Amino acid sequence: MIKLYWSPRSRSFTAIWLMEETRLPYERVLTDITTGAQKAPEYLKINPMGKVPALTDGDAALGETAAICAYIADRYPETKLAPGVNDALRAKYLQWLLFSPSCIEPALIQIFTKLEVPPSTAAWGSSTQVFDVLDAALQNGPWILGEKFSAADITVGAGLHFAVRMFKMVPPRPAFDAYIDRCVARPAFQRAEKIAERA
């Protein structure tokens, strides 16, 4: 049985959305980060970073949201959440799957802290560049890979929803609003939102 270790009102939302999209049976294991449960030795064996979400699937154990998305999409191809290894879309899928943790999240930290980092030395370039590139990529929609919804939409969609709608750190743009609306309209997103808001 897949076990998803999570906490309400956290980055766990993305992994919950993923699991709800798959329709695979899974158990949610509440991990109360307000009491430090994620720092317990038994939890650190699953995710040594002591963060949520984390996931176990038999003998496999991993943390990091994008890694969880990649693992589930590849381990369970019947979910159709990832292009196959020989599919030409696979390259762009991997790029966008990792775009949220490697570009969106650092850009939001830059915006929040007003941190001045030369674009030539910042791995994400600049916050302006991150959201301009994402805006351009979403013009062809409806999804980040075009017609096919994938796990990359889960990581990008959750990141963009967080940035634009929840915390209003990024100004709305027509392409962002249309894309977020499509994400929010998905029944799995709505189920995940209800789960993630309650303990």
Same-domain check for residues 95 and 180? yes
Where a domain ends, among 58, 80, 102? 80
pTM comes to 0.95
Given the structure tokens 């294991």, which residue do they identify? 29
Q: What is the pLDDT of residues 126-169, one digit of tens each?
A: 899 999 999 999 998 899 999 999 999 999 999 999 999 999 99
Instruction: Choose among 63, 29, 38, 43: nearest CA to 195.
Output: 29
CATH number at residue 94: 1.20.1050.10
Q: What is the pLDDT of residues 65-121, one digit of tens each?
A: 999 999 999 999 999 999 999 999 999 999 999 999 999 999 999 999 988 888 777
Task: Render 71-94 in DSSP notation, one character per residue.
Answer: HHHHH-GGG--S--TTSTTHHHHH
Question: Tokens representing 168?
Answer: 């209003």
CATH number at residue 33: 3.40.30.10
Residues 6+ apart with CB under 8 A from 11: 51, 52, 53, 65
Domain region containing 169: 90-189
Residue 120: predicted pLDDT: 79
